[in-house]
Amino acid sequence: MDGVLIIDKPSGRTSHDVVRDVKKSLGAKKVGHAGTLDPLATGVLAVCVNEATKLTRFLLHEDKEYCATLLLGVRTDTLDREGEVIDRCEPHLQEKEIRETVEGFVGRIEQRAPKYSAVKFKGKPLYKWTRQGVDIEPPLRDVTIHHISVTEIQMPYVTFDVSCSKGTYIRSLCADIGDRLGCGGCLFDLRRMRSGYFRQEDAISLEGLADGKRLEAIEKNIIPLAEMLPGLTEIVVDQDTADRIRRGYQPDCGTLRDKNTPLLERGDLIKFTTQGGRIAAVATMVLSSEEISLLDEGERAVKILRVLN
């Protein structure tokens, strides 16, 4: 069985716990997730099974949407409510000031990952260094907040929806909002509503299901490989060409010229599929559609990034 499952991760369980449950239920050789959710968080977790694990990297680059609740006036070492409190104060703020401050984070911003996070330093996750008593300041990095809106204020709690780029830490965002307001803050609650192509409406819960019912739910809801990357331009090739790609062939202008390809630019991601709808490979364009129409047939047109059996 190959494909991706969209799991509604419950609070209190790690992403690895969910992966382990799916692997055990299916007896699968390879299972992995596309984008970690902290134990505190709930919501959309994409779990890739067998051949689908080869496509995980392409899911990780997609935008995310969350519903988050910020607790004002509390700072913790983990930047969420489960950490050790390092500072506490009573926030005295007007709703207008809170809304304007939160919405002021829209755009490209600099952010530090939490010291308790899976970001690696010298090959080891930051949380392991921190637990060993080694204080490492994570580097600043650029992330993008596409949209953010406050949906409820019940002091000291502020709930907001946010759409953001890959690599954005909502824990860090909450701490930064609290700092800008002058009272500090931490993440109190978090739900991922969308991860790339997949929304919470697509997600299933496996909690409380007996082994047989869990397997039945997985088999009924697994998304096949051909539907995993709906945002990529599809180029259909015959079985012979698909087999050649799997053996290392890098398609040239001649191969793509007769496929009636849409307008493509250098760097665009595409997927090669067979007439049966199965993905043979994911590639990036090294030439644009215009260049393909002008250059020699033998000129290399794409770079194969991942081949699927």
**Annotation says 80 is catalytic:** no
The active-site residue out of 2, 8, 38, 202 is 38
- E-state strands within 126-182: 140-154, 157-164
Distance CA 252, CA 234 (A): 16
Distance CA 152, CA 5 (A): 32
State the pairing for strand pair 3-9/42-49.
Answer: antiparallel
Tokens coding 193 = 């509503």
Name the residue type at position 205: S
Name the residue type at position 219: E
Q: How far is CA 75 from CA 87, 184, 185, 260, 291, in A?
A: 5, 6, 5, 57, 55
Distance CA 102, CA 306 (A): 40
The helix/strand/coil state of 224 is: coil
Residues with a catalytic annotation lie at 38
